[in-house]
Structure 1
Amino acid sequence: MVVGDRSERLWNPLPDVALAVGLLVVGGVGTTAVGDEFPQAAPVDGGAYALVAVAAAGLAVRRRWPVSVLAVCAVATSAYLVAGYPYGPILVSFFVAVYTVARHRPIRRALVVCVPVLVLLLLHVVVARVRPEGLSGVLPGSAWVVVPFAVGASIRVNRESATRTRVEQARRLADEERLRIAQEVHDVVGHGLAAINMQAEIALHLLAKRPEQAEAALTAISRTSREALDELRATLSVVRRDADAERTPAPGLDQVEALTVRLHRTGLPVTLTVDGERRPLPVAVDLAAYRVVQEALTNVLRHAGAATATVRVGYLPDEVTVEVTDTGRGGSVDGAVGHGLTGMRERVEALGGSVATGSRPEGGFRVFARLPAEPRR
């Protein structure tokens, strides 16, 4: 983002016009005063006031055409000094013009503009005979370019840095939201497809020998796909922020029992145990705990082979725990499982909880999650 270009699009001339009028008044009064204090300089006449007026008036459009305004102001200021007039308020107008270029133009371009302006300003040191300081005036004369340039460039760099920070923060929040949505869709679709795949394999195996059982498997596929689609629609409605989203409750631990029943119908025996007194949890914690159970059972369907699973939910005073164990193959975790477990861990840790996973000594795999009763703020 180019700060200068944006400032031009949003340019309001009134502040610049007010500044120009103020410097015109100050220039008129101040130039008369310095003329009285420095009688050795050239007498202040109509030419001096005209140059002061040109330098100040140009500032009325300083942010619209900063380079052109600086050029006009530099010529007027240099002519004023070469003519031998006393140092005065015209230098303030020149100061503001240099600052404006450094503030509203890229630094390299501003530098290219300000170098010849500096040379033009110092011209009076060489050609003016009435300056008693002679070449020793180069250093203080240079300060009228170096100081405003440094101030304007610093402000520009700081503004651009702040803008980049805001853009990066917005991009990071958007990325986090996309990851959250992807995780939600992964949990919903992954679980449904795993159950459908298992039932489809059963149906294919039984179709020729026992078609009546194959029909039951196909019925389970139909039911599972319908439930998965309903949950996916609910998830997407939240993403779209539809009016119906508020009427669609997010899944939670209260729905774990229905989840285990569905999986039992697909051929995965699941036992559910609840310790402690059930109580309402924050929506984010309740959803995260449900997703842990869902993802863990999905992995059992996909990778454990012929197995049974046990789900334990514990309601403690300050936290809730979820444990899913199975009697399957356990051991290695392939890429698909790893991705699901990574998303599960990120979801829980974002709320201030923790997840432990690994093979069990007696065989099978264990997923244990601990979540605070209130999400981390």
Structure 2
Amino acid sequence: MEESPGDGYARRRSRGSFSGVFPGRRQVGDVLRTLVLAGFVLGATTMAARQQPEARALDPVGYGWLVAAALPLLACRRYPMLAFAVSSVLALTYYWSGYPGGPVIVLPGAALFVLTRVRGPATASVAGGALLAALYLVHGTSDGDWLPPLPAAGLVAGVAAVIGIGTALRHRKAAQRATREQQAEHAQRLAEQDRLRVAREVHDVVAHSLAMINVQAGVAAHVADRRPEEARKALQHIKEASAEALTDLRATLEVLRGGDRKEGVAEASASLRHIAELIDHAQAVGIDVYVRGEPGDLPPDVDGAAYRILQESLTNVIRHANQPSSVTVQFGRRDGALEMVVRDDGMGATAPRLGNGLRGMRERSEALGGRFTASATVEGGFEVRATLPVPAAPS
């Protein structure tokens, strides 16, 4: 049974409505914190009232006053400064009212803790200092002996401890957030590198094979009536080139499906050991390829990159060079790096425009810490030069 677009929308909308009905973990945590602190203050103040017979009897108004001082904690995360101010005013006026003394000061202390985490230690320090000043002002103007016999330094130390712990947790949360952002950025970079790598692989395989197929198809169409044997040979080259392209594409897609980020896996079939195939492809369209020097033993990533750069260079000669007859490929080693130069003898070459092929060759070189240049030669042809560092083999 098919699902209509409206069904999916209705289901998403219903899930969204449920998320508005049921509170999140933060809201539940705020409620639980408020209930626990309010219960503690109510219970401790009730017990303290028995030791303060001279104080005003703790009636429903007094209990309501204590509960009211705790209620701002419900909105403390969203409105930290307002919640702290309201809780502080209610706690201080409760002490001033003559009701039995108790730990109601814990409630603005909890609000100060949240204020520190949300707004930072500077704002919390100003708010904490204002609370201490108001606390001693109320104590000096009230009749009751509700404030514990602690020196001023003790209360200052308590406020400082609340701000210090809140600041430490704030920094820890910021560090965790930064770590998550770095991990997300790293994952995004890996995904982008995978996308570019697959794009390079597909471009190199498809561009090279289609260039060969295009040239051979033109040859076959040109000589089909007059020289059927040459047409048959061109069609055979087309068959071989398309088969190789399908094989390379299948290998690339298998890597993409498997999520393997190892460059060597994606380029398992790309190796200078298969340079003869590239030479055969070029010679099949009438371009002689001369190889000078030896690349030597190369790590898989360097070997694969060098092969793809050579493949794209020969593809560009086939597609863009003006009447080339030969290509010279020069390999050499210098200062722990492989130097590869591909030069054709075409005519009238101009400064290159940066396309997918040149961009891909440069990205391959730079990904290994190497260099890449492409330019027209004095003779009129085109030259590609790549320098790829070769790590020393472990002893």
Shift of 1:196: 1.0
- The letter for the 1-side match of 2:91 is Y
Shift of 1:346: 1.6
Question: Cα 1:311–1:16, aligned 2, differ >3 Å: closer, same or farther?
Answer: farther
Q: Is 2:63 the counterpart of 1:46? A: no
Specify the alignment match of 1:344 in structure 2.
361
- How does the TM-score come out when normalised to structure 2? 0.64
Q: How does 1:52-201 map to 2 (within 5 A)?
A: 52=66, 66=77, 77-83=88-94, 84=96, 89-97=103-111, 100=114, 132=141, 164-201=181-218
Question: Cα 1:79–1:242, aligned 2, differ >3 Å: closer, same or farther?
Answer: closer
Specify the alignment match of 1:252 in structure 2.
271
CA distances 1:319-367 after superposition (whole Å, capped 9, x unpaired): 22222111113522454x6431122112111111111221222331111
Structure 2 CA distance, aligned partners of 1:18 and 1:129? 27
Specify the alignment match of 2:371 in structure 1.
354
- How does the TM-score come out when normalised to structure 1? 0.67
Shift of 1:78: 3.4
Shift of 1:299: 0.5
Question: Identity of aligned pairs, percent?
Answer: 33
CA distances 1:127-169 after superposition (whole Å, capped 9, x unpaired): x988649xxxxxx9xx99xx89x96997687776665554444
Q: Is 2:273 the counterpart of 1:261? A: no
Question: Cα 1:355–1:66, aligned 2, differ >3 Å: closer, same or farther?
Answer: closer
Structure 1 CA distance, aligned partners of 2:167 and 2:38? 20
Shift of 1:179: 1.4
Shift of 1:198: 1.2
Shift of 1:250: 3.8
Specify the alignment match of 2:145 in structure 1.
none
Structure 2 CA distance, aligned partners of 1:79 and 1:54? 7
- The letter for the 2-side match of 1:347 is R
RMSD of equivalent CA atoms: 4.9
Specify the alignment match of 2:10 in structure 1.
none
Structure 2 CA distance, aligned partners of 1:334 and 1:248? 27
Question: Cα 1:129–1:325, aligned 2, differ >3 Å: closer, same or farther?
Answer: closer
Shift of 1:288: 0.9
- The letter for the 1-side match of 2:230 is Q
Structure 1 CA distance, aligned partners of 2:56 and 2:300? 78
Structure 1 CA distance, aligned partners of 2:106 and 2:37? 11
Specify the alignment match of 1:297 in structure 2.
314
Q: Which of 172, 192, 206 is residue 223 of structure 2 equivalent to? A: 206
Q: Is 2:238 the counterpart of 1:221? A: yes
Return the structure number with greater relative CO, CA threshold 8 A, min gap 6. 1
CA distances 1:16-63 after superposition (whole Å, capped 9, x unpaired): 858975786589769999xx9xx9xx947636677557756986xx59
Structure 2 CA distance, aligned partners of 1:158 and 1:303? 53
CA distances 1:58-93 after superposition (whole Å, capped 9, x unpaired): 86xx59x95599988876653332231599753443
**Is there any run of 5+ residues in structure 2 with no aligned partner, and where?**
1-19, 120-126, 143-155
Structure 2 CA distance, aligned partners of 1:330 and 1:211? 34
Question: Which segment drifts farther, 77-86 or 197-206?
Answer: 77-86
- The letter for the 2-side match of 1:94 is P
Structure 1 CA distance, aligned partners of 2:70 and 2:138? 26
Question: Cα 1:56–1:314, aligned 2, differ >3 Å: closer, same or farther?
Answer: same
Specify the alignment match of 1:111 in structure 2.
none
Question: Which segment drifts farther, 289-298 or 82-91?
Answer: 82-91
**Is there any run of 5+ residues in structure 1 with no aligned partner, and where?**
108-117, 134-139
Structure 2 CA distance, aligned partners of 1:17 and 1:267? 82
Q: Is 2:328 the counterpart of 1:328? A: no
Q: Which of 266, 270, 280 is residue 289 of structure 2 equivalent to? A: 270
Question: Cα 1:299–1:333, aligned 2, differ >3 Å: closer, same or farther?
Answer: farther
CA contact 1:330–1:365 (8 Å) conserved in 2: no
- The letter for the 1-side match of 2:107 is S
Shift of 1:318: 2.1
Question: Cα 1:129–1:235, aligned 2, differ >3 Å: closer, same or farther?
Answer: closer
- The letter for the 2-side match of 1:318 is G
Q: Tell me how many residue pairs correspond in the alignment.
A: 330
Structure 1 CA distance, aligned partners of 2:93 and 2:294? 93
